[in-house]
A and B are shown apart, each in its own frame.
Chain A
Amino acid sequence: MDMKVSKKKLGLKEKYQHMTRGLGWETTYQSMDEVFPYAKYEGIKIHDWDKWEDPFRLTMDAYWKYQAEKERKLYAIIDAYAQNNGHLSVTDARYINAVKLFLNGISPLEYMAHRGFAHAGRQFPGVGPRVACLMQSLDEIRHAQTQIHSLSNYNKYYNGFHEYRHMLERVWYLSVPRSFFDDAITAGPFEFMVAIGFSFEYVLTNLLFVPFVSGAAYNGDMGTMTFGFSAQSDEARHMTLGLEVIKFILEQDPDNLPIVQQWIDKWTWRGYRVLTLVGMMMDYMLPKRIMSWKEAWEVYFEENGGALFKDLARYGIRPPKWLDQIEQDKDHISHQAWATFYNYAAACNFHTWIPTDDEMDWLSQKYPNSFDKYYRPRLEYWREEAKKGNRFYNKTLPMLCQTCQIPMIFTEPGDPTQICYREVDYKGNKYHFCSDGCKEIFEHEPEKYIQSWLPVHQIYQGNCFNEGVDPTAEGFDPLAAVLDYYHLNFGRDNLDFEGSEDQKNFDAWRGMATKNT
């Protein structure tokens, strides 16, 4: 006999509801406050976790299915790229330094993001954000691992990739991205979500991934392009989570507004400072350029961010602080950063160089208000000096900003010829800052930032030499001792691109790939 079976499949919303929300419960052996001890101390008031909206209604079955497909695509391409000596098809070997910067400065942050989202997810009493944080945590460890796998192919042939983990906790410039994330994961779960989920993922991540990955594609680096797009395909979900967090917190209680606003101000500024590295990469390190830092900033921050903050105005949110300074800075920061790395090329695990004449013309055209006036003459002077055998290597350690840890290289708003210094006296010590933004962030949480591990201070205190090194010995060379501690191979990993082993090898191998000699 016929059985009448109702076989209607659950819709997306119902299925998601059953597979996520339906699985949570209120604890009774221990109070919810004991089980979720970090949920209240930041002052954020949540009255109803069920009001959380999940824009992408992804359940684990769908998550594995699509992530597995992304992985299969990725590894097929990475294998093909390696088998085909893909590294020899990049525009020129200078490009590879952009990838070094990525592996050393960005990939470890993906791992930190994995830890951060696992932690935040554990601490939220609501099921919706817990599930979203869990998936993002898995995404982030996938990003760290796929980036390491993809870039290990470069490590077989080029210098500067070999000790990224060791260097992360030691090399001076890497304290900038590392301390940014350390700051975020040592905050409470709500601040972490506003810091990374919203300010970084939503407001700023497009500036990192879209130009970088498109730039990799433009420069013939299929390996980086592939892991970049594979990671980026998760970012849309992350961005949506970041926006949802803000809306949810603000809708729960009017008292949350000033706390959230302060976090948005802080983390947009912190993230913007870290992205200086990306600006420099776009303007100086991609032999074939896709767009200038300034153009990317205008599209992805001013236009998209503008739309976002206009939308959030209904909650009483205003655009982040210090935007007038950021607006002026877009003509300058990439040039100021490149000049700094050019100066400190002896203490870096990647190479720097003077742009070619064509490249300088491109920079003039993209930066009509600043490049020819302030930056071109300096680059031309350094080029002349290098020709005479005096390639400039700065051996004096710079003063660092206590908050962002970037050397004091940025200029006063309105005067690109004057370095910007700010200072604060706190409990008998003087602390230094690169900007009003970093100073105000410090003043809000001085007990946190006085603990900063500042590479320059640590070197002067003698904490950056290997065991057994005697700084009082006759003829002691502090730079050499610090580079040993970094595991940086002098003459291979550092100095100018011109004359580097990378340059020679690339030319020789590319020759072998196209000729029968």
Chain B
Amino acid sequence: MSKVFIALQTNDDTRSIIQAILADNPHAIANEQPAMVKIDAEGSLVVRRSSIEDLIGRDFDLQELHINLISLTGHVDETDDELTLSWNT
């Protein structure tokens, strides 16, 4: 199974996002690097709006991710509620 990843800047905005991603994807592993966090996951990874909102206590638009996003791999599927990264193999 191939790995997908998402990399985010390390800052106040992303702390809850990273926490939500790790909670929603128990198979994901966070690698902390200087000023960034890279989250690797076998097969697929989902970023869920509701999980982030629960942690930050306000509405969150998934497109806010763009502000702190560094990089990602895999096919992207984005809806109002979820952003999913996956490989077909």
Contacts and interface: CB of A to CB of B under 8 A. Distances in A.
B70 interface: yes
Contacts of B70: 209-210, 213, 229, 232-233, 235-236
Given A57-B78, A217-B35, A290-B33, A69 B67 contact: yes
* Secondary structure class of chain A's binding surface, majority of residues: helix
Given A66-B63, A236-B71, A304 B34 contact: no
Contacts, number: 100
Interface string A154-197: 00000000000000000000000000000000000000000000
Given A11-B79, A55-B75, A239-B71, A307 B87 contact: yes
Interface stretch (A94-102, A254-262, A310-318, A340-348): A310-318
Interface string B15-27: 0000000000000
A72 to B, nearest CB: 10
Interface in B27-79: 33-36, 63-64, 66-79
A218 B78 contact: no
Contacts of A233: 9, 66-70
Contacts of B71: 205-206, 209-210, 232, 235-236, 239
Contacts of A109: none
A56 interface: yes
A55 B2 contact: no
13 contacts: A12-B79, A55-B77, A56-B63, A56-B66, A58-B63, A66-B63, A70-B67, A205-B71, A213-B70, A214-B33, A232-B71, A233-B9, A303-B3
B34 A306 contact: no
B74 to A, nearest CB: 8
User: What interface size band does chain A fall in?
Assistant: 35 or more
Interface of A: 11-13, 55-58, 62, 66, 69-70, 73, 205-206, 209-210, 213-215, 217-218, 225, 229, 232-237, 239-240, 243, 290, 303-304, 306-308, 310-311, 313-314
A305 B3 CA distance: 11
Interface residues of B, number: 30
A54 to B, nearest CB: 9
A239 B33 CA distance: 21
B76 A55 contact: yes
The 10 closest A-B pairs by CB, nearest first: A307-B2, A217-B35, A55-B76, A218-B34, A217-B34, A236-B69, A214-B34, A232-B70, A311-B87, A66-B66
Contacts of A306: 2
Given A66-B64, A69-B67, A307 B34 contact: no
Most buried by A among B3, B66, B68, B87: B66
A229 B70 CA distance: 6
